[in-house]
């Protein structure tokens, strides 16, 4: 790959064997990248840019170890552009302006320049603004990488001139493929299950996975990697866990049922088991939101608000700080009053809808925007609730054959106790 600063570097990497495993396995083509298929697969946004030779400035936003730097390098290589990396920690405005001037000169000779800014969120406003003129004139293609939300960390002017692409943590299957490549590169074999354990432990981080392989392999004198070698590197017990297997579902079932049973300590234990096994934190957050809806419901309407707030906190803080939010919402849901009345109500309503798909909407509930529809009786008998003193009317809203059917039967727990009283009072008034 060409660069403004690579003169005199030999084409063959004579020091390959001494480089970190993650560097040795860095892909040389886009189709060798593991993961990010939503952006790199044929027909997807970034791949299409390259194929049509229309590379534009962009921000790559994603967690650590998902390939931001690798993708930037490959985009430059496949676009036959010079690649200039910047570090937000080491570079200042002077260095930026020098490179911008060189890039402008090179463009006159038909040479394009890709400027890659790692951790662009660490650049201050003045440093980010220094790129603007060159981006606007097309002198450079700017590719910024960040683990932070660009909406908050990148200047609006720069953000409006760059497309934001969100990169995802690698799946267990993708990481397993990468770990297998790493073992092959090191000429090391492994016990059954070791590859999956590493893939599950690193929580989507490819670099971390390869570093772990390399460290554990250094302990394997006979070139065979075991669970004990992993535990030796991590200084901890590796738990039996497969994110895509039975144990995964056993553990989440245990967590869900402990919360439903209001057993706080058991719920925290199963949560801790999943956290320590490297479970995806956003998966846990989604499941806890589901528990709030399914098992607490209207007995405590704030449960959903708290669960969504937890999901946002986990997304914002990441690991390990976000784990405390997961613990907090687990405790909240476990001690909250329980009700599945809304869950059962929807199931009942869906069953009725399936059994009686062709039930016509009662005439009193139909709008009558035309004269003909009014003549046909559309809207006849409609009672406007806001014209009633207490906003309660006696009008039937169920279709024929379902009059008086009750789907939602609130419990006597929490807020639903008040809802039950209100519904009973309305029923008396309508009667």
Number of domains in the chain: 4
Residue 4 lies in a domain: no
The answer to whether 73 touches 29, Cβ cutoff 8 Å, is no
Residue 9 lies in a domain: no
Domain final position from 234, 261, 279: 234
Let me know whether 414 and 284 are in one domain: no
Let me know whether 26 and 102 are in one domain: yes
Let me know whether 137 and 30 are in one domain: yes
- Measured CA to CA, the distance from residue 364 to residue 181 in angstroms comes to 68
Mind listing the pLDDT tens digit of every residue in the chain (431 residues)?
444 445 555 555 555 667 888 889 899 888 889 989 999 999 999 999 989 988 889 999 988 889 999 999 999 998 888 888 887 555 667 677 777 777 777 777 777 888 898 888 888 787 788 878 888 887 888 899 998 888 888 888 888 888 999 999 888 889 999 999 999 999 989 888 888 888 877 878 899 899 989 988 888 878 898 888 877 777 655 554 455 555 677 888 999 999 999 999 999 999 998 888 777 888 899 999 999 999 999 999 999 999 999 999 998 888 888 999 999 999 999 999 999 999 999 999 998 888 877 788 888 888 888 988 888 888 888 888 888 878 878 888 888 888 888 898 998 989 889 989 888 888 887 76
The answer to whether 111 touches 81, Cβ cutoff 8 Å, is yes
Let me know whether 281 and 218 are in one domain: no
Residue 350 lies in a domain: no
- Residue 136 Cα distances to 25, 46, 115, 127, angstroms: 35, 20, 14, 16
Let me know whether 162 and 48 are in one domain: yes
- Measured CA to CA, the distance from residue 50 to residue 159 in angstroms comes to 21
Let me know whether 270 and 220 are in one domain: no
- Residue 148 Cα distances to 245, 314, 340, angstroms: 32, 13, 38
Predicted local confidence at residue 4, as pLDDT: 47
Q: Using only the alpha carbons of the chain, give its radius of gyration.
A: 30
Interior/surface letters 70-94, b for 16+ CB within 10 angstroms, e for the rest: bbbbbbbbbbebbbbbbebeebeee
- Residue 123 Cα distances to 44, 90, 115, 254, 415, angstroms: 30, 10, 14, 45, 49
Tokens at 363, concatenated: 């005439």
Let me know whether 160 and 176 are in one domain: no
Let me know whether 317 and 331 are in one domain: yes
Going by the DSSP 8-state scheme, the letter that residue 154 receives in this structure is S
Residue 76 lies in a domain: yes
Predicted local confidence at residue 3, as pLDDT: 47
Let me know whether 199 and 140 are in one domain: no
Query: What CATH number is attached to the domain comprising 284?
Result: 1.20.272.10
Predicted local confidence at residue 88, as pLDDT: 59
- Measured CA to CA, the distance from residue 60 to residue 74 in angstroms comes to 13
Residue 225 lies in a domain: yes
Let me know whether 202 and 296 are in one domain: no
Indicate yes or no: pTM above 0.85.
no
Predicted local confidence at residue 402, as pLDDT: 86
- Measured CA to CA, the distance from residue 124 to residue 153 in angstroms comes to 9
Query: What CATH number is attached to the domain comprising 46?
Result: 3.40.50.300
What is the extent of the structural domain holding 71? Answer: 16-166
Residue 10 lies in a domain: no
Domain final position from 148, 166, 184: 166
Domain final position from 166, 186, 212: 166
Let me know whether 155 and 190 are in one domain: no
Predicted local confidence at residue 267, as pLDDT: 94
Span 290-346, pLDDT tens digits: 999 999 999 999 999 999 999 999 988 888 889 999 999 999 999 999 999 999 999
Residue 11 lies in a domain: no
Residue 349 lies in a domain: no
The answer to whether 393 touches 385, Cβ cutoff 8 Å, is yes
Let me know whether 117 and 142 are in one domain: yes
Query: What CATH number is attached to the domain comprising 230?
Result: 1.10.8.60
């Amino acid at each position: 790959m060409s660069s403004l600063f690579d003169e005199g570097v030999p084409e063959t990497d004579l020091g390959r064997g001494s480089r970190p495993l993650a560097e040795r396995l860095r892909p040389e083509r886009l189709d060798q990248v593991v993961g990010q298929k939503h952006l790199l697969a044929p027909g997807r946004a970034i791949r299409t840019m390259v194929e049509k030779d229309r590379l534009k400035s962009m921000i790559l936003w994603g967690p650590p170890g998902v390939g931001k730097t690798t993708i930037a390098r490959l985009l430059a290589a496949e676009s036959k552009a010079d690649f200039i990396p910047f570090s937000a920690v080491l570079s200042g405005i002077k260095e930026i302006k020098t490179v911008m001037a060189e890039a402008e000169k090179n463009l006159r000779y038909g040479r394009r320049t890709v400027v890659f800014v790692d951790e662009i969120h660490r650049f201050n406003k003045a440093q980010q603004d220094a790129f603007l003129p060159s981006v606007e004139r097309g002198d450079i293609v700017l590719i910024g990488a960040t683990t932070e939300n660009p909406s908050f960390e990148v200047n609006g002017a720069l953000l409006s001139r760059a497309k934001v692409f969100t990169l995802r943590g690698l799946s267990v299957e993708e990481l397993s493929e990468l770990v297998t490549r790493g073992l092959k590169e090191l000429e090391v074999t492994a016990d059954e299950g070791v590859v999956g354990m590493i893939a599950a432990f690193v929580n989507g981080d490819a670099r971390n996975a390869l570093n772990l392989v390399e460290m554990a392999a250094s302990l394997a004198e006979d070139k065979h990697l075991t669970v004990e070698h992993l535990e030796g590197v991590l200084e901890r017990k590796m738990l039996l866990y497969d994110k895509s297997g039975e144990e995964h579902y056993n553990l989440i079932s245990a967590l869900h049922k402990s919360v439903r049973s209001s057993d706080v300590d058991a719920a925290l234990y199963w949560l801790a088991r999943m956290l320590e096994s490297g479970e995806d934190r956003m998966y846990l957050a989604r499941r806890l939101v589901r528990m709030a809806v399914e098992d607490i419901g209207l007995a405590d309407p704030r449960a959903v608000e708290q669960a969504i707030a937890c999901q946002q906190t986990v997304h914002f803080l990441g690991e390990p700080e976000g784990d405390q939010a997961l613990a907090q919402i687990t405790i909240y849901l476990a001690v909250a009053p329980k009700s599945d009345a809304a869950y059962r109500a929807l199931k009942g309503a869906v069953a009725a809808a399936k059994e009686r798909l062709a039930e016509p909407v009662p005439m009193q509930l139909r709008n009558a925007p035309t004269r003909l529809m009014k003549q046909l009786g559309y809207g006849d008998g409609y009672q406007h609730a806001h014209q009633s003193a207490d906003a309660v009317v006696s009008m039937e809203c169920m279709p024929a054959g379902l009059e008086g059917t009750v789907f939602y039967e609130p419990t006597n727990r929490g807020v639903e106790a008040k809802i039950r009283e209100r519904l009973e009072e309305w029923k008396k008034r309508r009667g």
